[in-house]
Structure 1
C-alpha cells in the first residue's frame, strides 16, 4: 500500500516509527474529506494513533497545506499532531487516537440498542461536545483569523483519551479576510449539498465566519437526524433536534449570512448553558478561579450529579479533572466522596489504572483532612491495592499517623493496622 511513496519501496510510516493495524486494511476514503483514516500504533510504545492518508493526485497540495496547519495550530480542541511525512505522491499525518463524530454518535445510539435516538446521558454529552466545538472555532476565528471551511461530522473528531471533541482535517483552512480559495465541493462532490444557499453578497471576514457558522448548523442537524439532507432546504425541518437547541439552531442556518448567529450565542442556548454536565466540567476546568465557598458548594452537590452523567465521561474526563482540582485547585479532601463513588463502578483493572494512582498521591498529601478521610474509608478501596502498592507507596505515609499531633488521625491509623 505504501511502496510507491519513496523510491526503493520504503514504508514511510515505519520510517517514522508507526505501523498500520490490520483492522485498517479495508478503510475507505471519506467522501467529505480528502483523507483515508487508518488505525495505527507507535511501534516503540504500542500507543494507538490515528493515521490520515492522502494519495490522490488532485488532493496532494491540499493535504500538504493541512499537514503544515496541523504542525502549527495548537489548541486543546484541535487534534494533537504527532508526526507526518509528505512527498509528491502522498501525505501522511499521525495524530492522537480519535474517531469521527459521525462514528461516535452512531456508537452512542447503538449502545442504547436504538439506531435513531439518544438517551438523556447522550444529550448531556453532545451539549458538551458542541460547547467545545464552539470554543475552538471562536479561537480559530478571533485569535488566529482563520476559517475552517469544511465543518461536518466527518471532519470533527472525538479523542479516545478523554472523549473531547476536536477539529481535524485542516485542508480547507484559510484566512478569514480572503474569499474562499478552495471550495470543498470543487474537490469533493459529496460536499455540494452542504454548501450554504446564495445570500446577499458579502466578502471577507464576515463571509468566511458565516460559512463556518452555517456548517456547524448542518453538523447539528446531522447529529440528530442523520445524513439524509439533500439540499439546503432540508435543514429547515428540525426533526429530532432538541427543543432547547432549536432557536439557536435556526439562527445558525439563516439564509442571510449577516444574520446568522455567533458561536457565543450558541453556547448561551438553554441546551448548552443549562446543561448539568457542561456546568460541572467547566467548573472543574476553571477551578483555580473559584473561591472556597463556591468550591465547597460544588463538591457537596457533585456526588449526586454524577449519577446523571455517562459512565465513560465520568471515567475518562471527570476523574482526571477531579485529581487536577485536588492537585492544583486547593480542593483538598472535598474531592474524595465523588472519587470513591465513581470508583465503585469500575472493574478491578480500571480501578487500579484510574483510581489507585490518585489514592497513592493523596496519601502523600500534607493535608490532614485528606489523610484522615483516606484512613476512614480504607475498606472501600483496600481490595484494589496490591502488596507492592501498599509497601512502596502507602505504608510509609500511614506510619506517620502514629505520631501525628491530631488524636483523630492517630486513632484512625491504629484502627487500619488491626
Structure 2
C-alpha cells in the first residue's frame, strides 16, 4: 500500500494529472518551497509552480499551508498573481504567473539605479497596503521574498508567516522563528523579546526593518547580518535619511513603509523618477485628456534605453494600443507605441501589433495615416509579406490620390520600405500606375520624390519593361520646371546606369541629358556634367569592344575602291574625309557627256545632284579631271560685301522664315562654303544693263532648284538642240551669263524673259545662323 502511494505521488510530482507540465527547477535559496518553470496544458502559456513536499518537510507544513491560503486571498498589483492552488497527500502546489527570483539580478549587481528605485517603490507600496489596509504583518521582507514577473515588475511573495494582527492565534507568533535563515533578518527587539513583542510596538515596525535590509541588499548585492543594518554604502544619497529611519533600533521611532513612500514622492524626492510616474499613469491613460496624454508621452520619450524593456512590452504597450485604437490617442501615442514595438521579436510583434496596425490603416484619420507611413520603416521587417501585400497596401493606395498633399507625399515615400513585401504582380501593375500619376502631380515636391522613389526601387521592377519605364520617368523629370526634380532625374539616371542597354544610353539617355548641360541653374549643370561623363565613359568602353565593321568580306570585295587620298586633302578618317571622297568618286565615275553647244569650245560635264541650298560650283571652260578635283577641294574667298556690279542677278525673295529654317537645317554641309568661288548659276556678268542698274543685292534664296534650262540656253545661244530628257524646264526668271562670255571680248546680249522688281530688299546683317536657334 505504501508502495502504491509512493508511485502515485511520484506521478503527480512529474505532472501526471495536473493542469501544468513541470519544467526546470529554479534556485531561490533557502526556502520551504521549491520553484519550477512550467507550462499550462490548456493553452501552452508559461507559468511558475511553487512545490512543497509534505513528507520531506512536515515540520514546516503550517508555513506552507499559510502561504497557500494567503496567496489565494490577498489581491494587489504588487503581489504575486496566483492562477491556482492544488493540495494532495504528498504535495502542495501554488501555480502563479511566470517569475524570476529578484536574488538573481541582485547577486549579479545588474540593476540600474532607476530600476532599483522603481522596484523598491513597488515593494514599499505593497508592504504599506499589507500593514495599513490589511492590518497584517508580512514578517519576512527580504530579497528572497521578492520576484520579477514577465513584465519586469517586482512582486512580493513569501507569505509563509503573513498574519493578521486581528487574530489572537496568528501563525507569526508560533512559527515565526522556524522560518529559514530567520536569525539573520529578525529585528533586534524580536531577538530579545520574541515575536509576541510585536503586539507592543507599531504594526509596521517589523516590516520597516525588513524593508531597510532589502534596500541594502539591492544596492550592495548581499546582506550578511545585523552589523550591516544602517550602513549607507552604495545607497543613493537622496535616500540616506529615510533609509536610516527605517532601521533605527527603537521600533517606536521607525519610519513606516507608508511614510517612506510619502517622503520619496515629495517634490525632488528619491521616488520622483520618470519610470515611477509612468507606472502610476499608465493605468489612467484611457481617462486622460489631450494635455495630460501629451505630457505622458513626452515623459515616455525621455526615458533612457536602460529601462526594463519587458515592462514596456507587457504593461505599457497594451495600454498604448488601446489608447490609439479606442481612446483617441492620436499620432503622438502611436509614435511611442511603434517605438516600443520595434524592440519586439517577430513573433511578439505579429501577435501584439500586426492586427492593430492593419486596423489602423483602415482608419480615415489623415494624421494617423501620415504617422503610420512615417514610421513604416520601424515595423516593416516584422510584418508578414502576405499581410502587407493583401491587407495593408490595398488600404495605402487611397493615399496616392488623397486631396491632402502631405498624405500623397508620405505615401510615395512609404513605397521604398514596403517594396520588398509586395508581389511582382502588384509592383508592375497597380503600383507603377499609381506612381505614374504622382509623377505628374501638381506639387513639385511630390514629382521629385516620385523620381527618387523609382530610382530606389528600380531593381525591384520587372526586367521586361523596367528600362522603358525608368527612361520615360526620368526623362520627364529632367524636363520639369522645378530644379530639384531635374536634379532627381539626373541622380536617378546615375544610380540606375547598370539597368540600361548600351543603345539606350547612346540614343535616348545622353540626348536627354545634353540640354541640361546649359541649364540656368549651376546645380543642375554640375550634376548634368557628372551624369553625362558617367554615361559617356560607359559608351566608350562598350564601343571599344565592338568590331571594326559588320559588313561581310564578300560585300566589301564587291564595293568600288576609293581613290588614294592626295597630299593636302582631308584624310579618310577625318570628319570631312568621307564627304569629299564621295563627291570626287561620283565625278570620276560619271559616264557620258553633255553634247557641246554651238558657242562652246569644250564639252560640259553634267553637274551631280546637290541640295537646293548648296552654292553652285564653278564650271571650268577647260580642265582635266584632276583639275576638277583640285578646284573642288580648294577653298576660295567670296567677298561678303560686293558692289552692285559684282553682285549676282536678282532672284525672287521668299519671305517665309519656317521654309528658310528648314532649308538651313537640310543644308548644314554648305555652311563652310561662304568663301567659295562665285556660284556659276548666279554668277555676276559684265552686262552694262546690270552694271548701270540701281537694283541692290537680295538675300540668298535657297528655296528652289537651280535654273538648269536657262543656263544651258545662255551657253548655246538659241538652244539649237533639245535638252536631254529630265533637264527640260521653263525659262528661268534670272538673268544668266556664262563664265566664258565674261572672258570673251564681245559682250553678249542678256535674255530677260520678264521684268522683275529690282527694288532692293532689306538685307539682315550676318543672320545665317538664326535658323539654327
For this structure pair, what is the TM-score category when the shorter chain's length is used for normalisation? 0.7 to 0.9
2:87 alignment partner in structure 1: 86
Q: 1:399 to 1:287 in 2, by over 3 A?
A: same
CA contact (8 A) 2:324 2:333 kept: yes
* Partner in structure 2 of residue 177 of structure 1: 166
2:667 corresponds to:
none
Aligned to 2:140: 150
| Partner residue in 1 for 2:253 | 259
Change (3 A) 1:322 1:297: same
Shift of 1:372: 2.7
Q: What aligned pairs does 1:277-356 form with structure 2 within 5 A after superposition?
A: 277-300=275-298, 302-307=300-305, 309-327=307-325, 329-345=327-343, 348=346, 351-352=349-350, 355-356=353-354
Aligned residues: 400
Matched, 1:234 2:228: yes
Establish whether residue 194 from structure 1 lines up as the match of residue 185 from structure 2: yes
Whole-angstrom CA distance in 1 between matches of 2:339 and 2:10:
54
1:170 is paired with a residue whose SS is coil
Counterpart CA distance in 2 for 1:340 and 1:146 is: 43
Q: Which of 216, 225, 235 is residue 220 of structure 2 equivalent to? A: 225
| Root-mean-square deviation over aligned CA pairs | 3.3
SS at match of 1:103: helix
Q: Which runs of 5+ in 2 are unaligned?
A: 415-430, 436-773
Q: Which has the larger radius of gyration?
A: 2
Aligned counterparts of 1:14 and 1:92: Cα–Cα separation in 2? 13
Bigger relative CO (Cα 8 Å, ≥ 6 apart): 1
- Within 5 Å, give how 1:6-405 maps onto structure 2: 7=8, 10-11=11-12, 13-21=15-23, 23-24=24-25, 30-31=29-30, 33-55=31-53, 56-107=57-108, 109=110, 118=111, 122-160=112-150, 162-178=151-167, 181-182=171-172, 186-198=177-189, 203-204=198-199, 207-231=202-226, 233-267=227-261, 268-269=263-264, 272-300=270-298, 302-307=300-305, 309-327=307-325, 329-345=327-343, 348=346, 351-352=349-350, 355-365=353-363, 367-391=365-389, 393-395=391-393, 397-398=395-396
How far apart are residue 391 of structure 1 and its match?
5.0
The DSSP-based 3-state class of the residue aligned with 1:91 is strand
Deviations 1:144-190 (A, max 9, x none): 33322211111111112x11111222221111334763356522351
Distance (whole Å) between structure 2 residues aligned to residue 72 and residue 36 of structure 1:
21
Mapped partners of 1:36, 1:8: distance in 2: 16
- How many Å separate the matches in 2 of 1:178 and 1:255? 27
CA distance in 2, matches of 1:68, 1:364: 49
- Between Structure 1 and Structure 2, the one with more strand by share is 1
Q: Give 1:339 shift.
A: 3.0
Give the whole-Å Cα distance in 1 for the aligned partners of 2:107 and 2:166: 36
Give unmatched runs, 5+ long, in structure 1. 110-117
Distance 2:5 2:118 in 1: 42
Please give the per-residue CA displacement for 1:93-149, whole angstroms capped at 9, x wherever unaligned.
11111011112333552xxxxxxxx5xxx1111111112112322332333333222
Q: Which moved more, 1:371-380 or 1:347-356?
A: 347-356
TM-score (structure 2 length as normaliser): 0.47
TM-score (norm 1): 0.82
Q: Which residue of 2 aligns with 1:114?
A: none
Most deviating of 58-67 and 182-191: 182-191
